[in-house]
Amino acid sequence: MDHKIVIEYQAVVKELEVKFGEGLELDAILLLVGIQELGKGYEEFSKDEKMNLMHIAICTILEPFGYYKFVKDDEDGWPHFDKVENLPALKPKEQEYLLKEAITQYFRANDYL
């Protein structure tokens, strides 16, 4: 485990908590990324829409790793992706670390860090 990634992820969480309140979990951060990528700002989302937003976030943050490729926005403005490569079989902690690393890279690429 790369401690630099852990420290950078903690910095992202702290910055987000200033704007959105303390106690942000990984799922909440994925939801925020999904909302950002949808580009419509915050609105009331159904449970299904929230799941779709988290899927958008996962595809977006894992795209630079070569797992997904953006295809297009649909007529309602929702982004769609194709799976390029299957994710490796990871243990839950390894999966969490990969997501945290990808989130950190996403925020760095978007000049948030």
Domain map (residue ranges) of the chain: 3-109
pLDDT band at 36 (very low <50, low <70, confident <90, very high): very high
Considering just the CA atoms, what is the radius of gyration of the chain in Å? 14
User: What is the percent of the chain with per-residue pLDDT over 70, rounded to a whole number?
Assistant: 98
Q: Which tokens in the block code for residue 42?
A: 């915050």
pLDDT over threshold 70, residue 90: yes
pLDDT over threshold 90, residue 13: yes
pLDDT of residue 106: 97
Beta-carbon count within 10 A of 90 CB = 12
pLDDT of residue 3: 87
Q: What is the mean pLDDT of residues 12-39?
A: 94
Is there a contact between 68 and 84 (Cβ–Cβ < 8 Å)? yes
Q: What is the mean pLDDT of residues 37-46?
A: 88
Q: What's the CA gap between 103 and 65, in Å, rounded?
A: 12
102, with CB counted inside 10 A (0-12, 13-18, 19+), is buried
pLDDT over threshold 90, residue 1: no
